[in-house]
Amino acid sequence: MTTLAVESLEVRHGAVRAVRGLSLEVRPGEIVGLIGPNGAGKSSTLHAIMGAAPVAGGEVRLGGASLVGRRSEDVARSGIALVPEGRRIFGELTVEENLRLGLAARRRGGDAAAAVERAYELFPVIRDFRRRPAGALSGGQQQQLAIARALVAEPDVLLLDEPSLGLAPRIVDVVFDALAAIRERGLGVLLVEQRAQRTVALADRSHVLANGELRLTLGPEDAGDTERLVAAYMA
Amino acid sequence: MTVAILNVSWQTLADALALGGVYALMAVGIGLVFGVLRLVNFAYGQLIMAGAYALAFASQWGWPGWAGILLCFAVVLALSVAMDRLVFRPLRTQSPAVMLVATFAVAFLLQSIALLAFGPLGKIASSLAPLNRPWTISGVDIRKIAIVAIVVAAACLLLLQLLLTRTAVGLQMRAAAMDFGTARLLGVRANRVIGGAVLVSGVLAAVVAVMLTVQNPLVTPDFALRDTIVVLAGVVLGGLNRPVPATLGGFAIGFASGILGGALPTNQSQYLPTFLFAAVILVLLVRPNGLFTRGGGAVERV
């Protein structure tokens, strides 16, 4: 397992500086939260790591090797998996086919069937529906499928873009419990979320982003400190 | 002897099925590349033309039939890959309109090269002519090529279906046709998927070149041009961005033009395209997403 390091990252969309000098690290076996208001630059950070948004400055390294300027598919194949915003499930393909697509990014030969099996263990509900079109699943089931699809590649680092968006509270619990289990497996997790309080409680560190800049870093002990959270958002 | 209900001969019916099969192969060849590149390859007919010239030259040189077919495949595949590397790949990030105009340019370039190099009169590909002789099946004469075309088309479509559903690269091609950006984020290599689609599309073009050359051994620079236009109409008719509807659209328009061609009196056969395109316009007015797509799919405008 290797560490993902973002150093002084700059992302520009035209004249807009979406991310300004952001530095963070995701080590194996830890969850790092990235929270902040809409337009703070959270998704831009993930897209820049994945090579899907142009990096205007700074560095992104995985285990020392730079990822800047590499194509999305090559970043994915180097050991970083993204669970994209809105899940981006292939609705016309079956659940199983969606999972098989995730295998495209596997690096080592290894046992692909075992990786699929481990994903099913984490989310038993998608095993029951594996021959159905993925579009027929509920939003919560699709989110679980999206995470499972990222995991079958056996990445070192998992990036998630607002996985709880639009989910019922009970399903949010399932997703957050799964993230804790994924951390237990030794993966590094970078979690972009709107649910600030739950993220702070779960993550080993949570960075508050506003206007593309890192404003504040919180630990799990700050989860009860609503005032501090609100102040960070307003700053 | 005739099929009573349709009042067409068995030969016409077999020809229509064969033309439907050949057009289905062209349709899926065009549809596969459209799926991954969002590119309507207007130059597809010129790939087939190049394959037909390969067959014509092979028979002029006295090569046996199988050697001519091998040469045809080699020429068409090399040209497909060259087209992808030299034209499609550099333009991949451009708008669909730019890519479409570029394929027009490639089409006319290839046609002009054929005109300059081989002249306007055409060459005869005769080495496969025996396939044009009839088989007699229980008193009914049917040209061998009609049967061969039906069988080959069915076999190709079956193999393609297996490729798309049972192999990793096939699955990746289908996913890329639905949402290329997400597929790449999952580690699907764009060049591999596009290269695969271009290659398969080239194989289909070579198969079509052989079938069409047997039926029409006079190879001219505008060989397969009219067929391509008809098939493009058929592909739009069926639904462009999924393999199965595109295939059905190609088959439908091939079958319809085969039946119409047999039904129209010989002195009125020049009106065939008129009827065909009138039917296409009519269908698209009623079902703008295509005849064989389920409702709700977005219309892809080119």
pLDDT mean by block of 10 residues, chain A; 235 residues: 92 92 96 92 95 94 94 95 95 95 86 90 92 94 96 96 93 94 95 92 94 91 80 69
B189/A73 Cβ within 8 A: yes
Residue B296 confidence class, pLDDT cut points 50, 70, 90: very low
Q: Which helix (H) or strand (E) holds A180?
A: helix A169-184
Is residue B285 exposed (0-12), middle (13-18) or buried (19+ Cβ within 10 Å)? exposed
Nearest to B289 by CA among B279, B278, B277, B300: B300
Residue B6 confidence class, pLDDT cut points 50, 70, 90: low
d(CA B263, CA A175): 64
Rounded average pLDDT over B265-280? 80
Q: Tell me whether B188 touches chain A (CB under 8 Å).
A: yes
Fill in the DSSP letter of residue B297. Answer: P
Contacts of A77 in chain B (CB under 8 A): 187, 189
B35-A115-A200 Cα angle (round to 5)? 95
Residue type for A81, please? Answer: A
SS3 content of chain A, % helix, strand, coil (to 5): 40, 30, 35
- Residues 113-172 on B with a CB inside 8 Å of A are 168, 171-172
Q: Distance (Å) from the C-alpha of residue B185 to the closest C-alpha of chain A?
A: 5
Q: Tell me whether B296 touches chain A (CB under 8 Å).
A: no
CA–chain centroid gap for B288, Å, is 22
* DSSP letters for A104-154: GG--S-S-HHHHHHHHHHH-HHHHHTTTSBGGGS-HHHHHHHHHHHHHTT-
B190/A71 Cβ within 8 A: yes
Q: Give B197-206 pLDDT, tens digit per residue.
A: 999 999 999 9
Q: Tell me whether B181 touches chain A (CB under 8 Å).
A: yes
**Mean pLDDT, chain B, as a whole number?**
88
- Among partner residues B175, B181, B184, which is closest to A90 by beta-carbon distance? B175
**How many CB pairs (< 8 A) connect A and B?**
63
d(CA A112, CA A115): 5
> Per mean pLDDT, which range of A202-206, B142-146, B190-194 is the poorest?
B142-146
Q: Distance (Å) from the C-alpha of residue A52 to the closest C-alpha of chain B?
A: 8
Rounded average pLDDT over B87-114? 91
Assigned domain for A64 exists: yes
Can you give the pLDDT at residue B294?
60
**Residue A62: which CATH number?**
3.40.50.300
Q: Domain map of chain B by residue range? A: 17-225
Cβ atoms of B31 and B237 within 8 Å: the answer is no
> Per mean pLDDT, which range of B12-26, B66-80, B283-297 is the poorest?
B283-297
A77/B187 Cβ within 8 A: yes
List the structure tokens of B40.
């309507």
Q: Distance (Å) from the C-alpha of residue B279 to the closest C-alpha of chain A?
A: 30
Rounded average pLDDT over B212-233? 93
pTM, full prediction: 0.87
Pairing of strands A205-210, A213-218: antiparallel
Compare all CA atoms of chain A with the CA of B192 and give the residue at the minimum distance.
Answer: A73
- Among partner residues A71, A92, A102, which is closest to B186 by beta-carbon distance? A102
Residue B302 confidence class, pLDDT cut points 50, 70, 90: very low
ipTM at complex level = 0.92
Q: Where are the alpha helices (DSSP H) in B7-43?
A: 10-37
For chain A, state the CA radius of gyration: 17
> Which residue is associated with the tokens 């479409």?
B100
Q: Which helix (H) or strand (E) holds B141?
A: strand B140-143
Decide if pLDDT at B92 tops 90. no
Compare all CA atoms of chain A with the CA of B242 and give the residue at the minimum distance.
Answer: A92
- Among partner residues B172, B179, B185, which is closest to A76 by beta-carbon distance? B185
Cβ atoms of B137 and B149 within 8 Å: the answer is no
Helix (H, G, I), strand (E, B) or coil at B66: helix
B171/A93 Cβ within 8 A: yes
Can you give the pLDDT at residue B269?
74
> Per mean pLDDT, which range of A155-159, B57-61, B270-274, B286-290 is the poorest?
B286-290
Contacts of B296 in chain A (CB under 8 A): none
Contacts of A84 in chain B (CB under 8 A): 182, 185
Contacts of A97 in chain B (CB under 8 A): 171, 175
Count: domains in chain A: 1
Compare all CA atoms of chain A with the CA of B184 and give the residue at the minimum distance.
Answer: A73
Helix (H, G, I), strand (E, B) or coil at A212: coil
Helix (H, G, I), strand (E, B) or coil at B123: strand
Can you give the pLDDT at residue A1?
67
Rounded average pLDDT over B150-161? 94
d(CA A45, CA A214): 12
CB count within 10 Å of CB B24 equals 30
Task: Provide the domain limits for residue A78.
Answer: 4-86+156-234
Cβ atoms of B109 and B86 within 8 Å: the answer is no
Q: Distance (Å) from the C-alpha of residue A30 to the closest C-alpha of chain B?
A: 22
B181/A52 Cβ within 8 A: yes
d(CA B212, CA A78): 47
A84/B174 Cβ within 8 A: no
> Which residue is associated with the tokens 């130059």?
B43
Can you give the pLDDT at residue A230?
77
Residue B135 confidence class, pLDDT cut points 50, 70, 90: confident
Helix (H, G, I), strand (E, B) or coil at B1: coil
d(CA B288, CA A103): 37
